[in-house]
A and B are shown apart, each in its own frame.
Chain A
Protein backbone atom coordinates (compact mmCIF):
# COMPACT_ATOMS: atom_id res chain seq x y z
CA UNK A 1 0.00 0.00 0.00
CA UNK A 2 1.39 3.35 -1.03
CA UNK A 3 1.17 6.43 1.16
CA UNK A 4 1.77 10.04 0.18
CA UNK A 5 3.67 12.88 1.81
CA UNK A 6 1.62 15.82 2.97
CA UNK A 7 -1.81 14.19 3.09
CA UNK A 8 -4.02 12.92 5.89
CA UNK A 9 -6.33 9.91 5.75
CA UNK A 10 -9.88 9.06 6.77
CA UNK A 11 -11.10 5.74 8.07
CA UNK A 12 -13.36 5.47 5.04
CA UNK A 13 -10.22 5.52 2.82
CA UNK A 14 -10.19 9.04 1.45
CA UNK A 15 -7.14 11.28 1.53
CA UNK A 16 -7.29 14.98 2.36
CA UNK A 17 -4.72 17.58 1.39
CA UNK A 18 -4.61 21.31 2.04
CA UNK A 19 -4.67 23.53 -1.03
CA UNK A 20 -4.66 27.20 -0.04
CA UNK A 21 -7.94 27.86 1.75
CA UNK A 22 -9.43 24.69 0.38
CA UNK A 23 -9.07 20.92 0.82
CA UNK A 24 -8.54 18.39 -1.92
CA UNK A 25 -10.18 15.00 -1.41
CA UNK A 26 -9.29 11.78 -3.19
CA UNK A 27 -9.21 8.00 -2.77
CA UNK A 28 -6.27 6.29 -1.11
CA UNK A 29 -4.06 3.78 -2.87
CA UNK A 30 -5.53 1.09 -0.63
CA UNK A 31 -9.06 2.09 -1.68
CA UNK A 32 -8.30 1.97 -5.40
CA UNK A 33 -6.58 -1.41 -5.13
CA UNK A 34 -9.54 -2.84 -3.20
CA UNK A 35 -12.03 -1.43 -5.71
CA UNK A 36 -10.16 -2.72 -8.76
CA UNK A 37 -10.27 -1.19 -12.24
CA UNK A 38 -12.49 1.88 -12.06
CA UNK A 39 -14.67 2.55 -15.07
CA UNK A 40 -17.05 5.25 -13.91
CA UNK A 41 -17.05 8.16 -11.49
CA UNK A 42 -20.06 10.15 -10.43
CA UNK A 43 -19.11 13.48 -8.83
CA UNK A 44 -21.21 16.20 -7.20
CA UNK A 45 -21.57 19.60 -8.83
CA UNK A 46 -19.71 22.77 -8.08
CA UNK A 47 -21.53 24.63 -5.31
CA UNK A 48 -23.04 21.45 -3.79
CA UNK A 49 -22.89 21.12 -0.04
CA UNK A 50 -21.23 18.02 1.33
CA UNK A 51 -21.72 16.75 4.85
CA UNK A 52 -19.29 14.90 7.05
CA UNK A 53 -19.92 11.15 6.96
CA UNK A 54 -22.28 11.28 4.00
CA UNK A 55 -21.67 10.00 0.49
CA UNK A 56 -20.74 12.75 -1.95
CA UNK A 57 -19.67 10.68 -4.95
CA UNK A 58 -19.66 7.15 -6.22
CA UNK A 59 -17.06 5.20 -8.09
CA UNK A 60 -17.71 2.05 -10.05
CA UNK A 61 -15.38 -0.75 -10.91
CA UNK A 62 -16.27 -3.36 -13.50
CA UNK A 63 -17.86 -5.37 -10.71
CA UNK A 64 -19.34 -3.01 -8.16
CA UNK A 65 -20.33 0.48 -7.18
CA UNK A 66 -19.00 2.11 -4.02
CA UNK A 67 -19.87 5.34 -2.29
CA UNK A 68 -17.22 7.87 -1.41
CA UNK A 69 -17.80 9.48 2.00
CA UNK A 70 -17.04 13.04 2.95
CA UNK A 71 -14.40 13.33 5.70
CA UNK A 72 -15.38 17.00 6.03
CA UNK A 73 -18.41 19.30 5.69
CA UNK A 74 -18.19 22.19 3.26
CA UNK A 75 -18.98 23.46 -0.21
CA UNK A 76 -17.70 21.91 -3.42
CA UNK A 77 -15.45 24.57 -4.95
CA UNK A 78 -14.36 22.51 -7.92
CA UNK A 79 -14.59 18.98 -9.28
CA UNK A 80 -11.89 17.14 -11.18
CA UNK A 81 -13.68 16.90 -14.52
CA UNK A 82 -10.83 14.99 -16.12
CA UNK A 83 -11.80 11.94 -14.06
CA UNK A 84 -15.27 11.81 -15.61
CA UNK A 85 -13.75 10.68 -18.88
CA UNK A 86 -10.74 8.92 -17.42
CA UNK A 87 -11.63 7.25 -14.11
CA UNK A 88 -8.68 4.87 -14.58
CA UNK A 89 -6.43 7.77 -13.52
CA UNK A 90 -7.51 7.00 -9.95
CA UNK A 91 -6.02 3.51 -10.29
CA UNK A 92 -2.88 4.78 -11.95
CA UNK A 93 -2.24 7.72 -9.64
CA UNK A 94 -4.55 7.77 -6.62
CA UNK A 95 -2.82 10.68 -4.91
CA UNK A 96 -2.59 12.67 -8.12
CA UNK A 97 -6.30 12.25 -8.80
CA UNK A 98 -8.29 14.47 -6.47
CA UNK A 99 -12.06 14.11 -6.81
CA UNK A 100 -13.24 17.42 -5.40
CA UNK A 101 -11.90 20.63 -3.93
CA UNK A 102 -13.83 21.77 -0.86
CA UNK A 103 -14.14 25.33 0.46
CA UNK A 104 -15.79 26.82 3.56
CA UNK A 105 -14.95 23.73 5.58
CA UNK A 106 -17.07 23.81 8.73
CA UNK A 107 -16.41 20.39 10.19
CA UNK A 108 -13.67 17.81 9.87
CA UNK A 109 -13.38 14.27 11.16
CA UNK A 110 -10.29 13.30 13.07
CA UNK A 111 -7.92 12.40 10.28
CA UNK A 112 -5.08 9.93 10.48
CA UNK A 113 -1.41 10.30 9.69
CA UNK A 114 0.14 7.90 7.24
CA UNK A 115 1.43 5.69 10.00
CA UNK A 116 -1.90 5.65 11.80
CA UNK A 117 -3.75 4.90 8.57
CA UNK A 118 -1.47 2.00 7.76
CA UNK A 119 -2.06 0.56 11.22
CA UNK A 120 -5.81 1.10 10.81
CA UNK A 121 -5.91 -0.78 7.49
CA UNK A 122 -3.96 -3.65 8.99
CA UNK A 123 -6.28 -3.84 11.98
CA UNK A 124 -9.28 -4.04 9.63
CA UNK A 125 -7.96 -7.06 7.76
Chain B
Protein backbone atom coordinates (compact mmCIF):
# COMPACT_ATOMS: atom_id res chain seq x y z
CA UNK B 1 0.00 0.00 0.00
CA UNK B 2 1.36 3.40 -0.98
CA UNK B 3 1.85 6.09 1.59
CA UNK B 4 0.15 9.46 1.32
CA UNK B 5 2.20 12.59 1.79
CA UNK B 6 0.82 15.24 4.17
CA UNK B 7 -0.27 17.14 1.05
CA UNK B 8 -2.38 14.36 -0.48
CA UNK B 9 -5.71 16.11 0.14
CA UNK B 10 -4.38 19.39 -1.20
CA UNK B 11 -3.30 17.66 -4.43
CA UNK B 12 -6.64 15.98 -4.94
CA UNK B 13 -8.44 19.25 -4.31
CA UNK B 14 -6.23 20.99 -6.85
CA UNK B 15 -7.05 18.38 -9.51
CA UNK B 16 -3.81 16.42 -9.25
CA UNK B 17 -3.69 13.20 -11.24
CA UNK B 18 -2.47 10.87 -8.50
CA UNK B 19 -0.14 7.98 -9.31
CA UNK B 20 1.96 5.56 -7.26
CA UNK B 21 5.63 6.54 -7.18
CA UNK B 22 8.41 5.10 -5.01
CA UNK B 23 5.96 3.91 -2.38
CA UNK B 24 3.94 7.13 -2.31
CA UNK B 25 0.87 8.48 -4.06
CA UNK B 26 1.87 11.71 -5.76
CA UNK B 27 0.48 13.93 -8.52
CA UNK B 28 2.05 13.24 -11.91
CA UNK B 29 0.42 16.47 -13.09
CA UNK B 30 -2.44 18.82 -12.35
CA UNK B 31 -5.13 19.92 -14.78
CA UNK B 32 -2.70 22.44 -16.25
CA UNK B 33 -0.65 19.63 -17.79
CA UNK B 34 3.04 18.78 -17.88
CA UNK B 35 3.99 21.29 -20.57
CA UNK B 36 2.47 24.33 -18.84
CA UNK B 37 3.89 23.22 -15.50
CA UNK B 38 7.32 22.82 -17.04
CA UNK B 39 7.12 26.25 -18.68
CA UNK B 40 5.96 27.87 -15.44
CA UNK B 41 9.17 26.72 -13.75
CA UNK B 42 11.35 27.95 -16.62
CA UNK B 43 9.66 31.34 -16.90
CA UNK B 44 7.96 32.07 -13.55
CA UNK B 45 7.72 29.60 -10.68
CA UNK B 46 6.43 26.18 -9.72
CA UNK B 47 5.80 24.41 -6.41
CA UNK B 48 6.46 20.69 -6.00
CA UNK B 49 5.62 18.25 -3.24
CA UNK B 50 8.76 16.17 -2.82
CA UNK B 51 7.88 14.79 0.60
CA UNK B 52 8.68 11.31 -0.68
CA UNK B 53 12.40 12.07 -0.40
CA UNK B 54 14.09 10.34 2.53
CA UNK B 55 15.95 12.10 5.34
CA UNK B 56 18.54 10.42 7.52
CA UNK B 57 20.37 12.05 10.41
CA UNK B 58 24.03 11.20 10.91
CA UNK B 59 25.18 12.25 14.37
CA UNK B 60 28.06 11.62 16.75
CA UNK B 61 31.74 12.20 17.30
CA UNK B 62 32.62 10.02 14.32
CA UNK B 63 29.87 11.34 11.98
CA UNK B 64 32.35 13.02 9.64
CA UNK B 65 34.65 9.99 9.53
CA UNK B 66 31.66 7.82 8.64
CA UNK B 67 30.59 10.13 5.82
CA UNK B 68 34.15 10.19 4.49
CA UNK B 69 34.19 6.41 4.37
CA UNK B 70 30.65 5.89 3.13
CA UNK B 71 30.49 8.51 0.40
CA UNK B 72 32.68 9.49 -2.54
CA UNK B 73 32.78 13.26 -2.00
CA UNK B 74 34.95 15.05 0.57
CA UNK B 75 33.16 16.63 3.53
CA UNK B 76 36.16 17.73 5.61
CA UNK B 77 36.12 21.36 4.52
CA UNK B 78 32.39 21.98 4.90
CA UNK B 79 31.09 24.95 6.82
CA UNK B 80 27.98 24.83 9.01
CA UNK B 81 24.91 25.24 6.81
CA UNK B 82 26.63 24.01 3.68
CA UNK B 83 25.22 21.29 1.44
CA UNK B 84 27.18 18.85 -0.70
CA UNK B 85 26.09 16.38 -3.36
CA UNK B 86 27.59 12.91 -3.37
CA UNK B 87 27.19 9.47 -4.85
CA UNK B 88 27.35 6.49 -2.46
CA UNK B 89 29.13 3.50 -3.98
CA UNK B 90 29.09 -0.22 -3.40
CA UNK B 91 32.32 -2.28 -3.23
CA UNK B 92 32.22 -2.81 -7.00
CA UNK B 93 32.08 0.94 -7.65
CA UNK B 94 28.42 0.82 -8.67
CA UNK B 95 26.07 3.47 -7.32
CA UNK B 96 23.96 2.65 -4.25
CA UNK B 97 22.36 6.10 -4.39
CA UNK B 98 23.06 9.76 -4.96
CA UNK B 99 22.28 12.13 -2.13
CA UNK B 100 22.81 15.50 -0.51
CA UNK B 101 24.63 15.95 2.79
CA UNK B 102 23.88 19.04 4.88
CA UNK B 103 26.20 20.02 7.69
CA UNK B 104 24.21 21.45 10.58
CA UNK B 105 27.25 21.74 12.80
CA UNK B 106 30.14 19.55 13.90
CA UNK B 107 28.91 16.01 14.56
CA UNK B 108 25.43 16.77 13.10
CA UNK B 109 24.62 16.04 9.47
CA UNK B 110 21.40 15.55 7.52
CA UNK B 111 21.43 13.23 4.52
CA UNK B 112 18.69 13.46 1.90
CA UNK B 113 18.22 10.32 -0.17
CA UNK B 114 15.97 9.11 -2.98
CA UNK B 115 12.60 7.76 -1.87
CA UNK B 116 13.02 4.56 -3.83
CA UNK B 117 16.33 3.85 -2.05
CA UNK B 118 15.45 4.94 1.45
CA UNK B 119 15.43 1.50 3.04
CA UNK B 120 18.37 0.21 1.03
CA UNK B 121 20.43 3.29 1.93
CA UNK B 122 19.59 3.20 5.60
CA UNK B 123 20.53 -0.49 5.80
CA UNK B 124 23.75 0.25 3.88
CA UNK B 125 24.70 3.06 6.26
CA UNK B 126 24.00 0.92 9.31
CA UNK B 127 25.99 -1.94 7.86
CA UNK B 128 29.07 0.24 7.32
CA UNK B 129 28.92 2.43 10.40
CA UNK B 130 31.82 2.47 12.84
CA UNK B 131 32.84 4.28 15.99
CA UNK B 132 30.57 6.74 17.72
CA UNK B 133 27.79 7.49 15.25
CA UNK B 134 24.03 7.11 15.04
CA UNK B 135 22.09 7.06 11.80
CA UNK B 136 18.38 7.84 12.24
CA UNK B 137 15.76 7.65 9.52
CA UNK B 138 13.59 10.70 10.16
CA UNK B 139 11.79 10.69 6.78
CA UNK B 140 8.32 10.41 8.25
CA UNK B 141 8.77 13.58 10.29
CA UNK B 142 9.54 15.78 7.32
CA UNK B 143 7.61 17.00 4.35
CA UNK B 144 9.59 18.66 1.60
CA UNK B 145 8.40 21.37 -0.77
CA UNK B 146 10.43 22.62 -3.71
CA UNK B 147 9.82 26.20 -4.84
CA UNK B 148 11.60 26.60 -8.16
CA UNK B 149 11.85 29.10 -11.00
CA UNK B 150 13.21 32.56 -11.80
CA UNK B 151 10.50 34.08 -9.59
CA UNK B 152 10.98 31.69 -6.68
CA UNK B 153 13.30 33.78 -4.48
CA UNK B 154 11.19 36.90 -4.88
CA UNK B 155 8.08 35.01 -3.76
CA UNK B 156 9.92 33.50 -0.81
CA UNK B 157 11.35 36.86 0.28
CA UNK B 158 7.92 38.37 0.70
CA UNK B 159 7.10 36.02 3.56
CA UNK B 160 10.52 35.07 4.87
CA UNK B 161 12.92 37.03 7.09
CA UNK B 162 16.27 37.76 5.42
CA UNK B 163 18.20 35.66 7.97
CA UNK B 164 16.23 32.58 6.91
CA UNK B 165 17.34 32.89 3.29
CA UNK B 166 20.58 31.07 2.43
CA UNK B 167 23.26 33.31 0.96
CA UNK B 168 24.37 30.97 -1.78
CA UNK B 169 23.49 27.94 -3.89
CA UNK B 170 24.00 24.71 -1.93
CA UNK B 171 23.65 26.45 1.40
CA UNK B 172 20.87 26.02 3.94
CA UNK B 173 19.49 27.77 7.00
CA UNK B 174 18.64 25.07 9.52
CA UNK B 175 16.61 27.08 12.00
CA UNK B 176 14.80 29.06 9.36
CA UNK B 177 11.19 30.10 9.17
CA UNK B 178 8.72 31.08 6.48
CA UNK B 179 6.00 33.34 7.88
CA UNK B 180 6.55 31.83 11.30
CA UNK B 181 6.53 28.21 10.08
CA UNK B 182 9.79 26.60 11.16
CA UNK B 183 11.70 24.95 8.32
CA UNK B 184 15.09 24.20 6.85
CA UNK B 185 15.48 26.55 3.92
CA UNK B 186 17.89 25.07 1.39
CA UNK B 187 19.03 26.71 -1.82
CA UNK B 188 19.00 23.56 -3.91
CA UNK B 189 16.79 21.98 -6.52
CA UNK B 190 16.28 19.53 -9.31
CA UNK B 191 15.04 21.74 -12.12
CA UNK B 192 18.02 23.75 -13.32
CA UNK B 193 16.39 26.95 -12.00
CA UNK B 194 16.92 29.21 -9.04
CA UNK B 195 14.88 28.33 -5.97
CA UNK B 196 14.72 26.56 -2.64
CA UNK B 197 13.77 23.28 -1.09
CA UNK B 198 11.94 23.61 2.22
CA UNK B 199 12.02 20.88 4.84
CA UNK B 200 9.07 21.30 7.12
CA UNK B 201 7.33 19.29 9.84
CA UNK B 202 4.62 17.15 8.31
CA UNK B 203 1.97 18.89 10.42
CA UNK B 204 2.91 22.28 8.91
CA UNK B 205 3.17 21.10 5.32
CA UNK B 206 -0.29 22.01 4.09
CA UNK B 207 -0.21 25.46 5.68
CA UNK B 208 3.14 26.20 4.02
CA UNK B 209 1.95 24.81 0.66
CA UNK B 210 -1.17 27.00 0.63
CA UNK B 211 0.71 30.03 1.87
CA UNK B 212 3.32 29.78 -0.88
CA UNK B 213 0.73 29.28 -3.62
CA UNK B 214 -1.24 32.26 -2.42
CA UNK B 215 1.84 34.46 -2.12
CA UNK B 216 3.07 33.54 -5.59
CA UNK B 217 -0.22 33.62 -7.44
CA UNK B 218 0.45 37.00 -9.04
CA UNK B 219 3.88 35.89 -10.21
CA UNK B 220 2.31 32.89 -11.91
CA UNK B 221 3.32 30.28 -9.32
CA UNK B 222 1.45 27.01 -9.92
CA UNK B 223 1.65 23.54 -8.37
CA UNK B 224 3.69 21.13 -10.51
CA UNK B 225 3.73 17.33 -10.60
CA UNK B 226 6.26 14.56 -11.02
CA UNK B 227 5.94 14.73 -14.81
CA UNK B 228 7.33 18.24 -14.99
CA UNK B 229 9.92 17.42 -12.33
CA UNK B 230 11.24 14.71 -14.65
CA UNK B 231 11.24 16.76 -17.86
CA UNK B 232 12.87 19.69 -16.05
CA UNK B 233 15.68 17.59 -14.60
CA UNK B 234 16.23 15.98 -18.00
CA UNK B 235 16.51 19.33 -19.77
CA UNK B 236 19.01 20.36 -17.11
CA UNK B 237 20.80 16.99 -17.66
CA UNK B 238 20.57 16.01 -14.01
CA UNK B 239 20.94 12.25 -13.64
CA UNK B 240 18.18 10.25 -11.94
CA UNK B 241 18.78 7.22 -9.79
CA UNK B 242 17.43 4.08 -11.45
CA UNK B 243 18.06 5.55 -14.91
CA UNK B 244 21.46 7.22 -15.30
CA UNK B 245 22.66 5.61 -12.07
CA UNK B 246 22.19 2.08 -10.79
CA UNK B 247 24.02 -0.44 -8.64
CA UNK B 248 25.80 -1.49 -11.85
CA UNK B 249 26.76 1.96 -13.12
CA UNK B 250 29.70 3.78 -11.51
CA UNK B 251 29.46 7.52 -10.80
CA UNK B 252 32.42 8.05 -13.14
CA UNK B 253 30.45 6.49 -15.98
CA UNK B 254 27.52 8.77 -15.13
CA UNK B 255 29.88 11.75 -15.36
CA UNK B 256 29.89 12.59 -11.66
CA UNK B 257 33.69 12.71 -11.34
CA UNK B 258 33.41 16.14 -9.70
CA UNK B 259 31.86 14.42 -6.66
CA UNK B 260 34.25 11.47 -6.52
CA UNK B 261 37.42 12.45 -4.68
CA UNK B 262 39.94 9.78 -5.57
CA UNK B 263 42.59 11.61 -3.52
CA UNK B 264 40.68 10.82 -0.32
CA UNK B 265 42.19 8.18 1.96
CA UNK B 266 39.61 5.51 1.48
CA UNK B 267 35.93 5.13 0.73
CA UNK B 268 33.66 2.25 -0.16
CA UNK B 269 34.15 1.53 -3.85
CA UNK B 270 37.45 3.38 -4.24
CA UNK B 271 39.50 0.30 -4.95
CA UNK B 272 37.13 -0.89 -7.67
CA UNK B 273 37.02 2.56 -9.27
CA UNK B 274 40.82 2.75 -9.23
CA UNK B 275 41.13 -0.67 -10.80
CA UNK B 276 38.60 0.18 -13.50
CA UNK B 277 40.51 3.35 -14.45
CA UNK B 278 39.07 5.56 -17.18
CA UNK B 279 35.45 4.50 -17.69
CA UNK B 280 34.87 2.41 -20.79
CA UNK B 281 31.39 3.88 -21.17
CA UNK B 282 30.08 7.39 -20.59
CA UNK B 283 26.82 9.18 -20.14
CA UNK B 284 26.03 11.29 -23.17
CA UNK B 285 23.34 13.75 -24.14
CA UNK B 286 21.47 13.09 -27.36
CA UNK B 287 19.50 15.48 -29.48
CA UNK B 288 16.96 13.75 -31.66
CA UNK B 289 17.40 14.83 -35.28
CA UNK B 290 14.94 12.34 -36.79
CA UNK B 291 11.20 12.19 -36.21
CA UNK B 292 10.02 10.74 -32.93
CA UNK B 293 10.78 10.53 -29.26
CA UNK B 294 13.43 8.30 -27.73
CA UNK B 295 12.71 6.88 -24.27
CA UNK B 296 14.77 4.89 -21.78
CA UNK B 297 16.26 1.45 -22.53
CA UNK B 298 16.36 1.81 -26.28
CA UNK B 299 19.40 0.37 -28.04
CA UNK B 300 21.85 2.85 -29.54
CA UNK B 301 23.94 1.89 -32.54
CA UNK B 302 26.82 3.52 -34.37
CA UNK B 303 26.92 4.32 -38.08
CA UNK B 304 28.12 0.78 -38.88
CA UNK B 305 25.07 -0.72 -37.14
CA UNK B 306 26.95 -2.01 -34.10
CA UNK B 307 25.06 -1.60 -30.81
CA UNK B 308 27.25 0.59 -28.59
CA UNK B 309 24.94 1.36 -25.68
CA UNK B 310 21.44 2.26 -24.67
CA UNK B 311 19.39 5.21 -23.58
CA UNK B 312 18.71 5.84 -19.89
CA UNK B 313 16.10 8.64 -20.15
CA UNK B 314 14.36 10.49 -22.92
CA UNK B 315 11.49 12.85 -23.50
CA UNK B 316 10.19 15.71 -25.54
CA UNK B 317 11.55 18.92 -24.01
CA UNK B 318 8.85 21.51 -23.51
CA UNK B 319 11.20 24.47 -23.19
CA UNK B 320 13.76 23.55 -25.85
CA UNK B 321 11.00 22.36 -28.13
CA UNK B 322 12.66 19.16 -29.35
CA UNK B 323 13.17 15.63 -28.04
CA UNK B 324 16.30 14.75 -26.11
CA UNK B 325 17.68 11.67 -24.44
CA UNK B 326 20.56 10.59 -22.27
CA UNK B 327 22.34 7.31 -22.65
CA UNK B 328 25.35 5.24 -21.69
CA UNK B 329 27.61 4.53 -24.66
CA UNK B 330 31.07 3.12 -25.29
CA UNK B 331 33.58 5.88 -24.60
CA UNK B 332 34.74 6.26 -28.21
CA UNK B 333 31.21 7.26 -29.24
CA UNK B 334 30.76 9.88 -26.53
CA UNK B 335 32.24 12.77 -28.52
CA UNK B 336 29.85 15.64 -29.33
CA UNK B 337 28.77 15.45 -32.96
CA UNK B 338 28.74 11.65 -33.11
CA UNK B 339 25.71 10.36 -35.02
CA UNK B 340 23.87 7.49 -33.36
CA UNK B 341 20.69 5.62 -34.15
CA UNK B 342 18.11 4.59 -31.56
CA UNK B 343 15.90 1.57 -32.07
CA UNK B 344 12.40 2.65 -31.01
CA UNK B 345 9.73 -0.06 -31.21
CA UNK B 346 11.02 -1.33 -34.54
CA UNK B 347 11.74 2.10 -35.98
CA UNK B 348 15.10 3.81 -36.26
CA UNK B 349 15.43 7.36 -35.03
CA UNK B 350 18.57 9.41 -35.73
CA UNK B 351 20.21 11.31 -32.88
CA UNK B 352 23.37 13.29 -32.35
CA UNK B 353 25.60 13.44 -29.28
CA UNK B 354 25.55 16.97 -27.84
CA UNK B 355 27.29 18.64 -24.91
CA UNK B 356 25.48 18.58 -21.56
CA UNK B 357 23.49 20.24 -20.10
CA UNK B 358 20.83 20.67 -22.76
CA UNK B 359 19.53 23.71 -20.91
CA UNK B 360 21.38 26.16 -18.71
CA UNK B 361 19.67 29.10 -17.11
CA UNK B 362 21.01 32.61 -17.63
CA UNK B 363 22.30 33.97 -14.34
Contact = CB atoms under 8 A, between A and B. Distances in A.
A2 interface: no
B18 interface: no
B189 interface: no
B28 interface: yes
**At the interface, is chain B mostly helix, strand, loop or mixed?**
mixed
Nearest to B38: A62
Interface in A84-98: 91
Given A60-B316, A62-B315, A63-B315, A42 B34 contact: no
B318 A62 contact: yes
A53 interface: no
B33 interface: yes
Contacts of A65: 293, 295, 345
A113 interface: no
Nearest to A39: B316
B60 interface: no
Interface string B26-67: 001100011110100000000000000000000000000000
Nearest to B321: A39
A49 interface: no
On chain A, which size bracket covers the interface? Answer: 10 to 19
B312 interface: no
Nearest to A62: B34
B316 A40 contact: yes
A36 interface: yes
Contact of B292 (A36, A37, A42, A91): A42
Given A62-B315, A63-B230, A91-B33, 8 more contacts: A36-B29, A36-B33, A36-B227, A39-B323, A40-B293, A60-B316, A63-B28, A63-B315
A63 B293 contact: no
Contacts of B227: 36, 62-63
Contacts of A91: 33
A68 B280 CA distance: 40
B95 interface: no
Interface string A30-72: 0000001101101000000000000000101111010000000
B25 to A, nearest CB: 16
Contacts of B186: none
Contacts of A62: 34-35, 38, 227, 231, 315-316, 318
A36 B17 CA distance: 10
A61 B315 CA distance: 9
A36 B36 CA distance: 11
B323 to A, nearest CB: 8
Interface in B250-293: 291-293
Interface in B226-261: 227, 230-231
Nearest to B230: A63
The residue among A58, A61, A62, A91 with the most chain B CB atoms within 10 A of its own CB is A62
A60 B349 CA distance: 15
A37 B293 contact: no
10 contacts: A36-B29, A36-B33, A37-B33, A37-B36, A40-B292, A60-B292, A60-B316, A62-B231, A62-B315, A62-B316
Given A36-B29, A36-B227, A39-B316, A61 B34 contact: yes
Contacts of A58: 345
Contacts of B38: 62
Nearest to B35: A37
Contacts of A61: 34
B233 to A, nearest CB: 13
Nearest to B29: A36
A36 B34 contact: yes
